[in-house]
Amino acid sequence: MDLLGTLSSQLGIDNDQAGALAGSILGKVQGQVDEDTASGLAAAVPELDGWKAMAAKAVGGDSGGMLGGAAGALGGGSAGGLMGALAGAVGGQQAQETAALVGVMGKLGLDRSKAAMVAPIVLDFVKDRVDPALLSKVLAAAPMLTALTGGGSDDAAPPSGMAAVTGALGGLFG
């Protein structure tokens, strides 16, 4: 699977934006897993370092911390505080990661209402590239990938209200 090509065609974005988006998401995942899992992900996705560099250039800062930084920023300002409270109250970590993804998409100049489209594309790419044991570790670090898709297993279905949070966040920023 060509991740950047799929992101570009499905979201209507250019290759640089797709690379920065992929680098933001997968860089966050890589930063949250143990060293062995991070090495396995890097081996399975050799283009990841390039995508992380694209993300750092496009958004600024450390690509691995971009989604985390965006999640932290949700607490600042009146709109950010409301968003952080909404995300935390309804879906916990998954909702906060979704909100952070929406924020990163905005920084990249992308249509934030399409945030829910990103996770299934990235999840399919990761599934194609890694073995099942590594995939389970990746999904444990990034529950947003299954929460927004409803994929993976019955246990990975979106929590109650997740669709509403995703829709609300997209509507606020769309």
Closest CA to 169 of 106, 123, 108: 106
Neighbouring C-alpha atoms within 13 Å toward the C-beta of 135: 16
At residue 50, the pLDDT reads 96
pLDDT at 115 over 70: yes
pLDDT at 169 over 90: no
Closest CA to 11 of 103, 122, 85: 122
Q: What are phi and psi of 80, to 5 degrees?
A: -65, -40
Whole-model pTM over 0.75: no
Kindly report, residue by residue over 58-89, the tens digit of the pLDDT: 887 654 444 444 444 433 344 444 444 544 44
Give me the residue label for tokens 């916990």: 92
Locate 168 and state its tokens. Answer: 């609300």
Fold of domain 3-173: Globin-like (1.10.490)
pLDDT at 114 over 70: yes
Q: Which segment, 24-33, 90-99, 143-152, is predicted with the most confidence on average?
A: 24-33
The ranges assigned to domains in the chain are 3-173
Please answer whether residues 169 and 99 qualify as being in contact, where contact means their C-beta atoms are separated by less than 8 angstroms: yes
